[in-house]
Amino acid sequence: MKDLFSKLVDNGWLTEDEADNFLNNQDMIECMEKSTSPSQDNIFNALNLVPLKSVNVVILGKDPYPNPKDAHGLAFSSLDDSTPDSLKNIFKSLDETYGSELFKNAKNDLTNWAKQGVLLLNTGLTYQKINAENLDKKEKNSLQTRVQNKHMKIWKPFVKLIISRILSVKDKPIVFMLWGNDAHNIVFANINDKNFKENLHKRGSFTIPDTQIMVLQCAHPSPLSVNSGGDFMEMAPIYFKECDKHLNKSINWINL
């Protein structure tokens, strides 16, 4: 376990004291030990692939895919051959933006994005599938929800620290692409500028004062959101190009 946190220190995400504090957090260690997806060595995959100094773009997910064949520590990314529904909509938006054919042909592994400084960070880093065969479906689902909510709560201080570390960067352009209100809220809760907080949930490009950090907000790419009037499919193609413009370089989003 110590080696996992040492890599985060090496990558600039944690100080040694912070790493020691998390190592002594028994609730967090229990979440890691009980994680059924991703595997323990992939829990910090996003942060291991993208050191703080290399961050160009931040995309936040929620918690890992329940299926361990999918989850490998990168939000929205999957190692399975079957494309998750939210990722299908992300691919559709990229196809509209760049004239690609990701929806038909892409691999679901987004590691190449991470290699270009795209931090694909879930706000809960572990998922624990419960074994409760003695319960009926309703009871089992209720228990699963309670267990996963506990994981999300335990990871909250860790993720808050990571987001705060990114927001402290002053000397380079960074883009937060925030999909869904949960992602909007998590980031804005860590922004100190009271006037900037008035932009919460607003569409358009907003740069945080005294930084080169741009925030782009829209709805979540999930089918539930898209099919109920969410504006991801409308805004995402605009935002991918806004992102490239702000960075003054292009992320090769379609090379998977």
Peptide bond into 237 cis (omega under 30): no
Using alpha carbons, list the distances in angstroms from residue 151 to 42, 116, 124, 141, 144.
Answer: 16, 29, 7, 15, 11
> What pLDDT, in 10s, does the model give residues 217-236?
999 999 999 999 999 999 99
First to last CA, the chain: 31
109 is a catalytic site residue: no
CB 57 within 8 A of CB 174: yes
**Residue of 63, 81, 95, 210 marked active site:** 63
Query: What's the chain's average pLDDT?
Result: 96
Given pLDDT bands bounded at 50, 70 and 90, which one contains residue 153?
very high
pLDDT of residue 250: 85
Evaluate if residue 71 carries a pLDDT over 90. yes
Q: How far is CA 114 from CA 2, 47, 118, 136, 227, in A?
A: 24, 9, 5, 41, 29
For the segment 177-220, what is each residue's pLDDT rounded down to a tens digit?
999 999 999 999 999 999 999 999 999 999 999 999 999 999 99
- The residues spanned by each domain of the chain are 2-247
Query: Which pLDDT score, from 0 to 100, does residue 136 have?
Result: 87
For residue 90, is pLDDT > 90?
yes
| CATH number for the domain formed by residue range(s) 2-247 | 3.40.470.10
Q: pLDDT digit string (tens) for 111-136?
A: 999 999 999 999 999 999 998 778 88
Give the pLDDT of residue 224.
95
